Amino acid sequence: MEVKEIREQIIKAGLRLVSEGLVARSWGNISIRVDEQNMLITPSGRTYENLKPEEIVLMNYHTLQYEGKIKPSSEYHLHAEVYKQRKEINAVIHTHQMNATTVAAARREVPPIIDDMVQIIGPTVRVSKYTLAGTAKFAKNAAKALKGRQAALLANHGAVCIGKNLEEAFAASEVLEKACKAFIEAEFLGGAKSISKFSAAIMHQVYLKKYSKLDKKNR
Ligand SMILES: [Zn+2]
C-alpha cells in the first residue's frame, strides 16, 4: 500500500474509534507499519474529527526520528516497540476504552471467559506492569504483556490492540471491550467462570491458522 493510502486509512480509523466510543477527544492513537524502518502514526494532541492526511507523522521506529514539524503521538514508544518486537504485526491501536480501562485500573488479568475473545486475542489478556505512560519503559512493559497476544491492558491507563492489519487490530479492540464488560459483570454475578487455559490456547491457535489461510487465499 502507498503512504498516501495509509494516511487516509488512519484518518478513517480515527473517526471509527470515535464513533464506536473507543476513544474521546484526542485520546488514543493509531499507527500502521509502512516498511522495515518506518511507521505512520497519529499526531499529538489533535482531535480525530479535523485530522488531515498530511498531519499523520512518518516516523522511523528504530531511530525515533520523524519527518516534518508536527509532533507524533506521545505514545510513539509503545508503537515503535511493537513493530520492533513483532514482525507479523502491521497495525497498532492504543485506546482508553471504558471497560478495558476499568479492568486495567483494578489490575486484573482477564481470564479466558468468552470464545471470541480467546480466538482473536489469546487465552488471557494480561495487564502490563505499571509505569508512567509515554516512557520507553512503559512501552517495554506493554510489549511484555502482549507476548503471544493481540491485546493487553495497560495498568491504570487503557489498552493496546494489535493486528496483521488495521481490521484485525479493530477486531481485537472491540472484542476486548466486550470481554472486559462481561468480566466486570460476571464478577458481580458471583464470579466469572473460565474455559480451561489449555482449550483456550488450542482455540487461539486454530483461529490463527484458519485466519492466515484465508488471508493467503484472499491475496
Ligand atoms: Zn493513553
Sketch the domain layout of the chain as residue ranges: 3-218
Instruction: State in Å: Cα 214 to ligand 1 middle.
Output: 33
Q: Is pLDDT at 25 greater than 70 in this prediction?
A: no
Tell me which of 2, 5, 54, 75 is the catalytic residue: 75
In the sheet that holds 151-154, the strands lie side by side as 57-60, 38-41, 29-33, 91-95, 158-163, 151-154, 127-128
Question: Given this model, what pLDDT does residue 115 score?
Answer: 95
- Topology of domain 3-218 in CATH is L-fuculose-1-phosphate Aldolase (3.40.225)
Quick check: is 75 catalytic? yes
Instruction: State in Å: Cα 131 to ligand 1 middle.
Output: 12
Q: Which of 102, 156, 170 is nearest to 128 (CA)?
A: 156
Mind listing the pLDDT tens digit for each residue in 48-62?
888 999 999 999 999
Mind listing the pLDDT tens digit for each residue in 82-99?
999 999 999 999 999 999
Provide the total of helices (H) and of strands (E) in the chain, helices listed first. 7, 7
Q: CA-CA distance, 193 to 205, in Å (whole number)?
A: 21
Instruction: State in Å: Cα 25 to ligand 1 middle.
Output: 12
**What is the value of pTM for the model shown?**
0.94
CA angle 115, 120, 123 (to 5 degrees): 65
Mind listing the pLDDT tens digit for each residue in 58-83?
999 999 999 999 999 999 999 999 99
Instruction: State in Å: Cα 136 to ligand 1 middle.
Output: 14
Residues by chain with Cβ below 5 Å of ion ligand 1 = 158
Buried b (16+ CB within 10 A) or exposed e, 47-71: ebeebeeeebbbbebeeeebeeeee
Question: Given this model, what pLDDT does residue 218 score?
Answer: 57
Q: Tell me what percent of the chain is helix, strand and coil, each rounded to the nearest 5.
A: 45, 15, 35
Instruction: State in Å: Cα 134 to ligand 1 middle.
Output: 8
Instruction: State in Å: Cα 109 to ligand 1 middle.
Output: 19
Instruction: State in Å: Cα 28 to ligand 1 middle.
Output: 5
Instruction: Tell me the mean pLDDT in the region 122-147.
Output: 97
- 30, containing H or E segment: strand 29-33
User: What is the rounded average pLDDT for all residues in the chain?
Assistant: 93
